[in-house]
Amino acid sequence: MIVTILEIRAQILRFIQKFQLVVEPVVKFIIAFAVFRCINNAIGHQEQLMSLPAELLLSLLGTFTPAIILTLLAAVVSLVHVYVASPLLAILVAVLMVILYCFIARFSGKYGYVVLAIPILFLLKIPYVVPMILGLVATPMTVIPVACGVIVYRMFEVIGSAALVEGATAIEDILLLYIDVIDRLLADKLMIVNIGVFFVMILVMYLMRKLSIEYVFEISIAVGAIVCILGFLITDVILHTQINITSMVFGTVGSMLIALVFQFFRLALDYSAVERVQFEDDDYYYYVKAVPKIHLTVPERSVKKISTNKGTEPEEQKAERLAFLQSGLYSETEEQEEEDGEL
């Protein structure tokens, strides 16, 4: 059973490597389309941007651009939707997005997709998979794009439920609107709790995977899931965040399973063949524990067609054979006798 699973893994990885030039753009297109579709469903006010051709065009742009550009496109689309609903709030959203974009461009780098993944996965009730995967592959600094993603999600929830003041021109009305939105963001305990719990998950998993124990990555995922559940339960008791406990627990379990599948395809280790090596140089004496990776190759099957029908003999070989027979050195009768003797 295990060998069969490893063979399937090897076939999938070989397929991805062989067709990487096709698979990678397709995956990026699916991600970009999901991003723009979720934005349109959540805060859609501009009808032109909500049409299928517009979504496909924006998705194509996001397919062939870096992650940070896709993040910028998503921010612009969101800003246009907010502007149609309320130009006053659009100014505030633009300022907040510029601040967040500076943080993303400065600190997150290749993890720009995290900012987009967090809001989408919140809608799917499994945002916990992001800190679990980052805990396996990244450093605690990735809490910055995670925090930006959580802020973006909560910001649009607050703006969507805010009272949109149309036609307000007095400075007092505008300031009151801005103060109301900012106060609601700052007083959003659930947003702070999400950022805090996600940071602790990433930090604990990062420290766990540094330990020299067997199945350390799988144990790190399980510990991260426990930290997630306990973190939200404790903060709910203390801060009364009114989180949906059932949804959180099932979402955490689902995220843990996704993280285990991700780890299986990312790195499979053979702990039955662990080697320990000791060596020294002029300054240090080293104790090294080496765990081999599992590289299971699936043999390629090739079918070779062998035909004994002389009628299918190529024309050049026929001509050479006829010329050799006509030379008198070898008769066709002798050739037939040799073939019969071999049989």
Q: What is the pLDDT of residues 209-268, one digit of tens each?
A: 988 888 899 999 999 999 999 999 999 999 888 888 999 999 999 999 999 999 988 888
The pair phi, psi for residue 326, each rounded to 5°, is -70, -15
d(CA 118, CA 124): 10
What amino acid occupies position 105? A
For residue 84, being part of any structural domain is answered with: yes
Q: Is residue 323 part of a domain?
A: no
- What local confidence, expressed as pLDDT, does residue 298 receive? 57
321 in a structural domain: no
The answer as to whether 9 is a domain residue is yes
Neighbours of 225 (CB within 10 A): 22
Predicted local distance difference test score (pLDDT) of residue 163: 46
Judged by phi (left if over 0) then psi (alpha if -120 to 50, else beta), residue 14 lies in: alpha
Q: What are 44's two structure tokens? A: 């859609």
Nearest-angstrom CA–CA distance, 10 and 7:
5
State the average pLDDT over residues 291-297.
75
**125 within some domain:** yes
Q: Which domain holds residue 236?
A: 2-273
- The beta-carbon contacts of 122-125 under 8 Å, at least 24 apart in sequence, are 122/153, 123/38, 123/42, 125/247, 125/250, 125/251
Task: Taking residues 190-209, report their average pLDDT.
Answer: 93
Dmax (CA) of the chain: 115
Nearest one of 20, 19, 32 to 60, comparing CA atoms: 32
pLDDT of residue 219: 93
Q: Give residue 193's pLDDT band: very low, low, confident or very high (50, 70, 90).
A: very high
DSSP 211: S
Give the highest mean pLDDT range of 80-84, 173-177, 333-337.
Answer: 80-84
- Is pLDDT of 330 > 60? no
Query: Which of 12-26, 154-168, 241-255, 302-316 has the lowest average pLDDT?
Result: 302-316
- Predicted local confidence at residue 165, as pLDDT: 47
- Domain presence at residue 299: no
Domain total in the chain: 1
Distances (CA, A) of 290 to 260, 269, 273, 278, 317: 22, 10, 9, 11, 58
Q: 112: how many CB neighbours lie within 10 A of its CB?
A: 21
**Residue 135's closest CA among 196, 214, 231, 220?**
220
Q: Report yes or no: 222 and 156 within 8 Å, Cβ to Cβ.
A: no
Which residue matches tokens 């009272």?
Answer: 163
Cα-based torsion angle of the residue sequence 204, 232, 96, 105 in order, rounded to the nearest 10 degrees: 20
What does pLDDT average to over the chain?
80
In this prediction, residue 207 carries a pLDDT of: 94
Q: What six digits make up the tokens of 52?
A: 């299928």
Tell me if 294 sits within 8 A of 271, measured CB to CB: no
Asked if residue 167 has pLDDT above 50, the reply is: no
- Confidence (pLDDT) at 257: 95
pLDDT at site 242? 82
The residue among 79 and 165 whose pLDDT is bigger is 79
